[in-house]
Amino acid sequence: MSRVLVVDDAAFMRQTLRDVLEGAGHEVVAEAEDGEEALALYETHRPDLVTLDLVMPRMGGIEVLRELRRRHPEARVVVCSSVSDETSILEAIRLGARDYVLKPVSAEKLREAVAKAGRGP
Amino acid sequence: MSAGMERYRKLFLEESLRHLEAAEEVLGRDAAGPQDLEAVFREIHSLKGMAGSMGFAAMAELAHRLEDLLDAWRVRGTVPGAEERELALRACDRLAEMRDDIAAGGAGDVAWDDLAGHLGRAAEPEGGQGADGLRVRIHLAPDSGSPAARAYLILLRFREADPAVTSDPPEAEILQGGGVEALDLVVHGLGRADVEALYETLTEVAGLEFPDPAPLSEPAPHAPVPSPPEEAAPPPPPETSPPPPEPPEGPRVRLPETVQVPVGILDSFVDLLGELTIARSHIENSARRLGSEVLLEEVDRLGRIVRGFHSRVMELRMLPFGLVVGGLRRLVRDQAARLGKSVTLEVRGEEIGLDKSILSRISDPLVHLVRNALDHGIEPPKVRERVGKPAQALLRIEAERVRNRVEVRVCDDGKGIDVEAVRRRAVDLGLVTEADSRSLSPAEIFGFLFRPGFSTREEVSELSGRGVGLDVVKAQVDAMGGTVELTSSPGEGAEVRMSLPLSVAIVPVLLVGLGRRVLALPTAAIHRTVEASPRDVRRTPDGHVLLTEKGQVPIAALGKIVGFPCRTRFERMPLVLTASQAGTVALAVDAFLGEQDLFIKPLKGPLRALRGVGGYSVLGDGRLVFLLDPPSLLPA
């Protein structure tokens, strides 16, 4: 089971993600509503996994991912984004995101992505 | 063959020759480096796309195979030997023969079986365990959202384990986005068990196979190709479609792998998709009200299917940027000859796909910008020589995919525009005060060129620049949901950059609340959003301003502009920073309600006269929302 940091600017999304993750036995250690907060909370909590929204005010998900992987190459990130962001999703994968889940998030797919992203090399 | 189709055939013949010549030039060089080979890859890739669009199957297939070879070189990262380059050159020769056959009225069906085996073997990656490697096929789940991203993720995951992994479709093709159903990989140094373990860590996949090493010369399945635009409406008579290859034995019916569809049907697809999206949102809302988890799961599934359908339809509507360039080539040639100027036209990004609605509307602004460059920007050869420039001027038109948009640039190395002269004229016209104008950045000053009536022919030539009628260009680009800007250095040339959405119908927006109402602002028009605290805001005689690192930004209450009741709070004021004709402005709203993709419908009838409104959409809860167009909303 993983300790997860949930990053999304929409409170509704954060709640949904928390419900699904906790339902699957994971621990949501913190929630961030923008990129800067996400980086700060990562330092504080050192979670096993981050779920990351790509489109956020102030610092967007791509920048967060780039910065996070620069500081912590071992950071595991699952991107949650909408399909219209395909280019951003491709960019996120290039930057080392472990997986992505499309919005609206399917509980089943999120559970699978988080379970598998938490494992493996 | 219709006149339209004939025109595309001519265009095709012209362009394909150019791609082949460019490729052959590099391949013939002994000292070609990886960069050059990358360029050859692009030439052949463009050629493949064009041949596919025109239905010249043999040519598309051979180009595809040659592209594989070039891609294998790229992956290998070593410069190919003379023998391999010779093979590539032979393939180019054969492509040229096919082109000649097409020029003579054929379908380009020149045999190339003799090359197939060689190309296939040469495209095999070099591995430590024999030439073969292990073949792996991974099927993506049919409901996989964004299959291109999924394929890319899988490829990268395998690349971690085997840096020399090769894939079909190749990486470059995957990154173009679009539909991938299965990914064929060849891996080295990994056994079946390793691959199976790796497969277990993947998500949204629907099966793993280890296909037998089939001969590579067997034709790969064709990707769907875009149909030619409007002009080419009537489908070609059956005899122009490629004749089927010899059936192995006995009679067998072969249907063509591509069909042509009238453009009207594609347009109606988009309308229906919009309805579908809205209907889905309605159902989702009802399901939420009912609190039915089961229904919500189903709606979720429906949503993914709709999105998958949406991306396929949008893909069908994609046409290569190169289609609008053919006419420009002629324009440049004729106009340069008429003006006694000598100009090289360089085009990049012809293979970049654009929605046909965008493509059909980008032509006018491009013609305008190219004419401007030729008429006013580029100097006559004598003048150029006098100032120490090559007599031959360079005009470059390029398209590039930048995130979710396409950037189209027109650059020349002509005399450029003097920013100081533009600034003075803006002051003379009373567009800005002398004092304020001093603090403007060059980009902001060049922005004045896009104001209606800013430049007339006479004055522009005095300004030693161009920019005639740039307001028209801006209006056309704005109407597509795009932005345009100009940069220039005197003596060195100018560049006009247009940033365009990939498609016009679906617009990413920020929803904002004003009282109980909701408005949408296109995210492309938003510089950033802030929630300002009282210490970020200052009162001035002209009203409130936001203090930023770059200076003061005037605050305007959006509610007042559109006439909706709103409550302006100062403790935590949500502000949207956007461009207006008078520079950046901060629009005060009551709340940010989140980002969303909206299917925008155009306003009809008298509503079209509404200033600052770009269209409307219906939200999931049935509420009507207007899409605002900030630049035209705010008075200059």
Looking at the structure, tell me whether residues B66 and B138 fall in a common domain. no
Looking at the structure, tell me whether residues B175 and B273 fall in a common domain. no
Q: What is the pLDDT, as a whole number, of residue B549?
A: 80
Give CA–CA dist B461/B420, Å, rounded. Answer: 15
* Cβ contact, residue pair A91, B175, below 8 Å: no
Question: Is B9 in contact with B1 (CB distance < 8 Å)?
Answer: yes
Looking at the structure, tell me whether residues B105 and B134 fall in a common domain. no
Q: Which amino acid is at B160?
A: E
Looking at the structure, tell me whether residues B76 and B136 fall in a common domain. no
Q: What is the pLDDT, as a whole number, of residue B252?
A: 54
Residue B11 domain-assigned (yes or no): yes
Q: How many residues does chain A have?
A: 121
Does the pLDDT value for residue B471 go beyond 90? no
Q: What is the pLDDT, as a whole number, of residue B237?
A: 45
Q: What angle do CA B382, B384, B387 make, to 5 degrees?
A: 110
Q: Which of residues 93-112 of A touch B (CB under 8 A)?
A: 93-94, 97, 99-100, 102, 104, 106-107, 109, 112
Query: What's B242-269 look like in SS3?
Result: CCCCCCCCCCCCCCCCCCCCCHHHHHHH
Position with higher pLDDT, B50 vs B253 = B50
Give CA–CA dist B253/B230, Å, rounded. Answer: 30
Residue B243 domain-assigned (yes or no): no
Q: Which residue of B140, B143, B144, B146 to mutate against A (max A Cβ within 10 Å)?
A: B146
Using alpha carbons, select from B334, B407, B328 the residue that is nearest to residue B370: B328
Q: What is the pLDDT, as a whole number, of residue B173?
A: 83
Query: Residue B115 is encoded by which pair of tokens?
Result: 């090359």
Domain boundaries in chain A?
Answer: 3-117
Looking at the structure, tell me whether residues B30 and B105 fall in a common domain. yes
Mean pLDDT of the B196-202 span = 87
Tens digit of each residue's pLDDT (9 = 90 or more) over B99-113: 989 988 888 988 888
Looking at the structure, tell me whether residues B491 and B352 fall in a common domain. yes
Cβ–Cβ contact A73 with B under 8 A:
no
- Least confident stretch, B440-444, B524-528, B578-582: B578-582
Give CA–CA dist B245/B599, Å, rounded. Answer: 44
Position with higher pLDDT, B251 vs B414 = B414
What CATH number does the domain containing B609 carry?
A: 2.40.50.180
Residue B237 domain-assigned (yes or no): no
Mean pLDDT of the B621-630 span = 80
Mean pLDDT of the A64-79 span = 91
CATH of domain A3-117: 3.40.50.2300
Q: What percent of chain B clears pLDDT 70, i.e. is strictly above it?
A: 84
Give CA–CA dist B631/B636, Å, rounded. Answer: 9
Structural domain that includes position B360: 319-501
B537-540, strands of its sheet edge to edge: B526-532, B573-580, B583-588, B551-557, B543-548, B537-540
Q: What angle do CA B477, B482, B487 make, to 5 degrees?
A: 80
Position with higher pLDDT, B591 vs B580 = B591
Residue B235 domain-assigned (yes or no): no
| Helix (H) or strand (E) run with residue B122 in it | helix B113-123
At B462, is the pLDDT very low, low, confident or very high (cuts 50, 70, 90)?
Answer: very low
Does the pLDDT value for residue B395 go beyond 90? yes
Q: How many independent structural domains does chain B possess? A: 5
Q: Which amino acid is at B242?
A: P
Give B160's contacts in chain A (Cβ within 8 Å): 121
Looking at the structure, tell me whether residues B170 and B277 fall in a common domain. no
- Burial-class residue B541 by CB neighbours within 10 Å (0-12, 13-18, 19+): exposed
Q: What is the pLDDT, as a whole number, of residue A43?
A: 93
Residue B4 domain-assigned (yes or no): yes
Least Cα separation, residue A27 to chain B (angstroms): 21
B591-599, strands of its sheet edge to edge: B591-599, B506-514, B517-522, B624-628, B613-618
Chosen domain end from B123, B140, B171: B123
Query: Residue B482 is encoded by which pair of tokens?
Result: 């795009």
Residue B385 domain-assigned (yes or no): yes
Q: What is the pLDDT, as a whole number, of residue B91?
A: 92
DSSP B377: I
Least Cα separation, residue B170 to chain A (angstroms): 15
Query: Residue B605 is encoded by which pair of tokens?
Result: 């009838």
Q: Which amino acid is at A61?
A: G
Chosen domain end from B456, B477, B501: B501
Using alpha carbons, select from B286, B230, B290 the residue that is nearest to residue B261: B230
Pairs of CB atoms within 8 A across A/B: 76
Maximum mean pLDDT: which of B6-10, B43-47, B571-575: B43-47
What CATH number does the domain containing B292 carry?
A: 1.10.287
- Burial-class residue B248 by CB neighbours within 10 Å (0-12, 13-18, 19+): exposed
Looking at the structure, tell me whether residues B384 and B512 fall in a common domain. no
* Cβ contact, residue pair B201, A88, below 8 Å: no
Report the SS3 class of residue B561.
helix
Question: Is B365 in contact with B477 (CB distance < 8 Å)?
Answer: yes
* Cβ contact, residue pair A58, B148, below 8 Å: no
Query: Residue B540 is encoded by which pair of tokens?
Result: 């001035």
At A68, is the pLDDT very low, low, confident or very high (cuts 50, 70, 90)?
Answer: very high
Give me the residue from A106, A112, A113 closest to B300, CB to CB.
A106
Mean pLDDT of the A45-64 span = 90
What CATH number does the domain containing B473 carry?
A: 3.30.565.10
| Helix (H) or strand (E) run with residue B397 in it | strand B393-402
Using alpha carbons, select from B377, B411, B409 the residue that is nearest to residue B498: B409
Cβ–Cβ contact A44 with B under 8 A:
no
Cβ–Cβ contact A59 with B under 8 A:
no
Position with higher pLDDT, B231 vs B260 = B260
Looking at the structure, tell me whether residues B175 and B301 fall in a common domain. no
Does the pLDDT value for residue B239 go beyond 60? no
Give me the residue from A57, A88, A93 closest to B153, CB to CB.
A93
Q: Which residues have a Cβ under 8 Å from the Cβ of B550 and sit 6 or more positions away?
A: none
| Helix (H) or strand (E) run with residue B298 in it | helix B293-316
Residue B332 domain-assigned (yes or no): yes
What CATH number does the domain containing B1 carry?
A: 1.20.120.160
Mean pLDDT of the B396-408 span = 85
Total Cβ atoms within 10 A of residue B221: 8
Using alpha carbons, select from B71, B72, B119, B126 the residue that is nearest to residue B215: B119
Q: Among all chains, which residue has been given the structure tokens 């345009």?
A: B484
Cβ–Cβ contact B311 with A under 8 A:
yes
Looking at the structure, tell me whether residues B119 and B132 fall in a common domain. no
Chosen domain end from B441, B470, B501: B501
Q: What is the pLDDT, as a whole number, of residue B125?
A: 54
Does the pLDDT value for residue B236 go beyond 50? no
Q: What is the pLDDT, as a whole number, of residue B472?
A: 79
| Helix (H) or strand (E) run with residue B471 in it | helix B470-479
Looking at the structure, tell me whether residues B461 and B484 fall in a common domain. yes
Q: Assess: ipTM above 0.95.
A: no
Beta-strand relationship, A3-7 and A27-32: parallel
DSSP B373: I
Q: Among all chains, which residue has been given the structure tokens 């003799």?
A: B114
Looking at the structure, tell me whether residues B169 and B279 fall in a common domain. no
Residue B258 domain-assigned (yes or no): no
Beta-strand relationship, B483-489 and B493-501: antiparallel
- Burial-class residue A78 by CB neighbours within 10 Å (0-12, 13-18, 19+): buried
DSSP string for B60-101? HHHHHHHHHHHHHHHHHTSPPPHHHHHHHHHHHHHHHHHHHH
Using alpha carbons, select from B85, B15, B87 the residue that is nearest to residue B48: B15
Q: What is the pLDDT, as a whole number, of residue A28?
A: 95
